[in-house]
A and B are shown apart, each in its own frame.
Chain A
Amino acid sequence: MRKEDVSGTSEKFLFKLGLADVLRLTMFGTLIALLKDITRIPLHIPGHSSIFWMGILVLGKGLIPGFGAGMVMGGVSGVLAVLLGLGKEGVFVFFKYFVPGLVIDLIAPLFLNKLENPVAGALCGAIASLSKMAINLALGLLLKLPMVFLTIGLGVTSISHTVFGAAGGVIAAILIRRLKPRLKTWE
């Protein structure tokens, strides 16, 4: 059980997470939205942004494994995406950011939250990336938007999302392994 500190940051604030954890997750969520806005990787392959997007999601969930971590990161990045005007979906872009976080929350317990394991990290990243593709497709159909990412076919798109999501997950797993022992004094 976590030790209570003077500032009360270990008390449950949201879901089963303390205030300090929620603030840290907010930082990860912000990083996702800002990186998505700032980076312009000229790869022209659907899902390539998953390499850092899912990487950060898996990293955040791996370092703060409580239920709700993914939703906080997804929610924060979703709100920021709406405010920054990312994507063509308008306010619905929120779901594009929130759903992968939700999926990470649901899928990580399947791997006993051992996201420092590269295989588990890769699978988590890939599944979250595929959920992003699915919500992208659903929003595209719902709002009748041009789905440029589908020009090479949904099947190939799903494979590219899997590959980039898995790559992000592996990088995150390596980082979790290196960072976790050093972050024992977070509280």
Chain B
Amino acid sequence: MREMGFQRRLLIGVGIILFVIASAYLIEFVSMEWGMRQGKRITVLDGGSTVAYLDSQALKQIAGSEEIGPSLNSVLNAAGVGDFSVVEIKGVAEETACSIPREMLSEDLVFQFGEDGTADLIDQKGAQLLIKNVSEIGVKP
């Protein structure tokens, strides 16, 4: 049997790397789509373009040692959004959405973690559930 050439072996190596990278992108895409449908991943949009994806683990990291989840303010800061006047928050269910002007943002608006990796936005002051299973946070100038 003819021995495989060295260059061909190198090409197989390149193929393995490309396969792994393509698989990584595929896994990322599939898990992102699945996570968004389940409300387990929150997309942060700045003027319509995506600036960050957050899951409950990322939110817990932003919250740090606080017992309750992070405030909406700290999440927006962590996501690195620019100047904005309105924040629009959407839930997994299509009809659930709310707009909050910047001046209305306070540390009372916090995320509360669900047991299934989802997060709800609540108003601590009025003990009111604003959005269940948050899927998108968008800021507009």
Give A contacts to B, CB under 8 Å: 107, 110-112, 114, 117, 119-120, 123-124, 126-127, 130, 133-134, 146-148, 151, 153-155, 157-159, 162
Q: Please name all residues of chain A whose beta carbon is closer than 8 Å to the beta carbon of B13 when the two chains form the complex.
A: 107, 110-111, 120, 123-124, 127
Known contacts A110-B12, A111-B10: A155-B28 contact under CB 8 Å: yes
- Which parts of B34-84 form the interface with A (CB within 8 Å)? 53, 57-58, 60-61
- A54–B25 Cα gap in the complex (Å)? 23
Chain-A contact segment, one of B15-23, B98-106, B107-115: B15-23
Closest residue of A by beta carbon distance from B7:
A119
Cβ B28 vs Cβ A153 within 8 A: yes
Please, could you name 19 A-B residue pairs with CB atoms under 8 Å apart, sorted by A?
A112-B6, A117-B6, A120-B10, A123-B10, A123-B13, A123-B17, A124-B13, A127-B13, A133-B24, A134-B20, A146-B58, A146-B61, A151-B58, A153-B53, A154-B27, A155-B24, A155-B28, A159-B21, A162-B21
Cβ A114 vs Cβ B6 within 8 A: yes
Cβ B60 vs Cβ A119 within 8 A: no
Cβ B17 vs Cβ A127 within 8 A: yes
- A164–B53 Cα gap in the complex (Å)? 25
SS class of chain B's interface: helix, strand, loop or mixed?
Answer: helix
Q: Please name all residues of chain A whose beta carbon is closer than 8 Å to the beta carbon of B127 when the two chains form the complex.
A: none
Q: Is B14 in contact with chain A by the CB < 8 A criterion?
A: yes
Closest residue of B by beta carbon distance from A155:
B25
Closest residue of A by beta carbon distance from B19:
A130
Q: How far is the CB of B59 from chain A (nearest CB, A)?
A: 11
Q: How far is the CB of B104 from chain A (nearest CB, A)?
A: 29
Q: Is B125 in contact with chain A by the CB < 8 A criterion?
A: no
- A125–B58 Cα gap in the complex (Å)? 30
Q: Please name all residues of chain A whose beta carbon is closer than 8 Å to the beta carbon of B27 when the two chains form the complex.
A: 154
- Partner pick for A111 among B9, B24, B31, B61, CB 8 A cutoff: B9
- A29–B23 Cα gap in the complex (Å)? 30
Q: Sort A-B residue pairs by CB-CB distance and give the 10 closest, nearest first.
A: A123-B13, A158-B24, A155-B25, A154-B28, A146-B57, A154-B24, A130-B20, A158-B21, A155-B28, A155-B24
Q: Please name all residues of chain A whose beta carbon is closer than 8 Å to the beta carbon of B24 when the two chains form the complex.
A: 133, 154-155, 157-158
- A153–B21 Cα gap in the complex (Å)? 12
Closest residue of B by beta carbon distance from A148:
B61
- A130–B17 Cα gap in the complex (Å)? 8
Q: Please name all residues of chain B whose beta carbon is closer than 8 Å to the beta carbon of A130 when the two chains form the complex.
A: 17, 20-21
Closest residue of A by beta carbon distance from B32:
A153
- A157–B57 Cα gap in the complex (Å)? 18
Cβ A155 vs Cβ B21 within 8 A: yes
- Partner pick for B6 among A111, A154, A162, CB 8 A cutoff: A111
- A127–B12 Cα gap in the complex (Å)? 11
Cβ B9 vs Cβ A146 within 8 A: no
Q: Please name all residues of chain B whose beta carbon is closer than 8 Å to the beta carbon of A162 when the two chains form the complex.
A: 17, 21
Q: How far is the CB of A187 from chain B (nearest CB, A)?
A: 28
- A124–B12 Cα gap in the complex (Å)? 11
Closest residue of B by beta carbon distance from A150:
B28
